[in-house]
Structure 1
Amino acid sequence: MKSLLELSGVSVSFDGFRAINNLSFQIGEPELRAIIGPNGAGKTTFMDIITGKTRPDEGRVIWGEKSVSLLRMSESQIARAGIGRKFQKPTVFEAQTVRENLAMALKNPRGPFDVLLYRKTEAGAARIEELAREVGLHDDLPRQAGALSHGQKQWLEIGMLLAQDPRLLLVDEPAAGMTPAEREHTTDLLKRAARTRAVVVVEHDMEFVRRLDCRVTVLHEGSVLAEGSLDHVTANRDVIDVYLGR
């Protein structure tokens, strides 16, 4: 499997603190990967670098078959290239219905007048139905997004990202604040999404990571400490020491 995204020798410092330290990482397509690590391990900065929010001091970030450098691209260019990111707190349009939220995510182009002049198309309507089914919100299409549960808002936001058809989906702590049933549904949703694209899940909840049943990358002090199955990395002495604070 050829890598879709590759980081090599990436470092970034903030006020003398090395948040990312000579980090190398790659993921193929399709692939599901979990990223774990203690607080301060560099997980958020890692996603910030991929999405163009943070520029590294050194290293390479290479994307796609043509080996394009993401470091030469703006945040919006990176998003258009096929990288979608879901933050920990769901950001949906609460006053709009589920259907309208998904419709807004589908729309292209995105200028102010394009939004005003948007016309419903049959293909767009069918895609909205398909996305709603995929994330488990088909029965909720007419509901206001603000009336959804926390877990449902997370699914809606994942649906909005999938509407843009990203090749790489970065998902930050999706299990936080969810009920056990919602967590189970989220696991299934991410596993399905990863059948056709690369999905990176940053997560603290080990039970959730175990259910994802995928390759795990452990970050510590901005570098990869271990990689492999969850059983493999949790049996690693260095990983145990880091998590137990020894």
Structure 2
Amino acid sequence: MNTLLEVSGVSVSFDGFKAINNLSIQIGEPELRAVIGPNGAGKTTFMDILTGKTKPDEGRVIWGEKSVSLLGMNESQIAQAGIGRKFQKPTVFEAQTVRENIVMALKNPRRPFDLLFKRGSDDAEARVRAISDEIGLSDALDHMSGALSHGQKQWLEIGMLLAQDPRLLLVDEPAAGMSPSEREHTTDLLVRAAKTRAVVVVEHDMEFVRRLNCKVTVLHQGAVLAEGSLDHVTKNQDVVDVYLGR
């Protein structure tokens, strides 16, 4: 497994509060990683730094084989470099069909309007089919996105990110508000996606993290407190004290 992302000695303060404190993390490709920690641990700020929303006060964030610094890029350049982010609340175009949402998200579609009006673009149609199969919405391609369940909207948004073919997918609390069967499907979807790219899941739900069956990074006060399997980190007394014991 190659190192795709290297965060080294990163710190950032807001009004004197150190949200991230000398944070160092490496993410491989492909890899599935869960990031957990109590509220205020720095999980969201970590993702904000990776996507260019927040610039750190110090440290390095190095990306890809050419060891490019993400800190010199803006948000759109980082997205084009291959980092996709899914926020906790699904944001899909509710007045459009599932198909139209995926088409709009496709990376470099030749002529998306041709596809919408069934003119040519067979390769794009095949890509839409493949993505809808992967997220489990093939039967809903012509349904309005606003009529989907909460879980289905989450899957559609993940599909829209996959349509952009990111090398790193950042997913924020994907299991929130889902039924047990939806959570199971979401687990399968993220595990499959991580076979060909890096997927980082920020999550509070320990049972969901356990089902992901991946390496876990525990953040506390903006730094890495522990790292390893879920069983390994949950036996760490520091983790028990600051997180699980609350």
TM-score, normalised with respect to structure 2: 0.96
1:78-124 deviations in Å (ceiling 9; x for gaps): 000000000000000000000000000015379xxx87xx3221111
- Alignment match, 1:186: 186
- Alignment match, 1:62: 62
SS at match of 2:96: coil
Q: Return the letter of the residue paired with 1:183.
A: R
SS at match of 2:243: helix
- Alignment match, 1:125: 125
1:30-87 deviations in Å (ceiling 9; x for gaps): 0000000000000000000000000000000000000000000110000000000000
- Alignment match, 1:29: 29
**Is 1:238 paired with 2:238?**
yes
Q: How does 1:141-160 map to 2 (within 5 A)?
A: 141-160=141-160
- Alignment match, 1:4: 4
- Alignment match, 1:214: 214
- Alignment match, 1:77: 77
Q: Residues of 2 paired with 1:106 and 1:132: CA distance?
A: 12
Runs of 4+ aligned structure 1 residues displaced above 2 Å come to 107-110
Question: 2:4 touches 2:28 (CA, 8 Å); kept in 1?
Answer: yes
Q: Residues of 2 paired with 1:78 and 1:51: CA distance?
A: 6
SS at match of 1:119: helix
Q: Residues of 1 paired with 2:9 and 2:16: CA distance?
A: 18
- Alignment match, 1:139: 139
Question: 2:2 touches 2:29 (CA, 8 Å); kept in 1?
Answer: yes
Question: 2:34 touches 2:217 (CA, 8 Å); kept in 1?
Answer: yes
**Is 1:200 paired with 2:208?**
no
1:194-246 deviations in Å (ceiling 9; x for gaps): 00000000000000000000000000000000000000000000000001567
User: Percent of aligned positions with the same letter in both sequences?
Assistant: 80
SS at match of 2:114: coil
SS at match of 2:164: coil
Q: Return the letter of the residue paired with 1:108.
A: N
Which structure 1 residue ranges, 5 or more long, are not aligned? none
- Alignment match, 1:95: 95
**Is 1:44 paired with 2:44?**
yes
- Alignment match, 2:118: none
- Alignment match, 1:176: 176
Shift in CA distance, 167/107, structure 1 to aligned 2, threshold 3 Å: closer
Which structure 2 residue ranges, 5 or more long, are not aligned? 116-120
Q: Residues of 1 paired with 2:179 and 2:238: CA distance?
A: 32
Aligned residues: 241
- Superposition deviation, residue 2 in structure 1: 2.3
SS at match of 2:227: strand
Question: 2:135 touches 2:156 (CA, 8 Å); kept in 1?
Answer: yes
- Superposition deviation, residue 25 in structure 1: 0.2
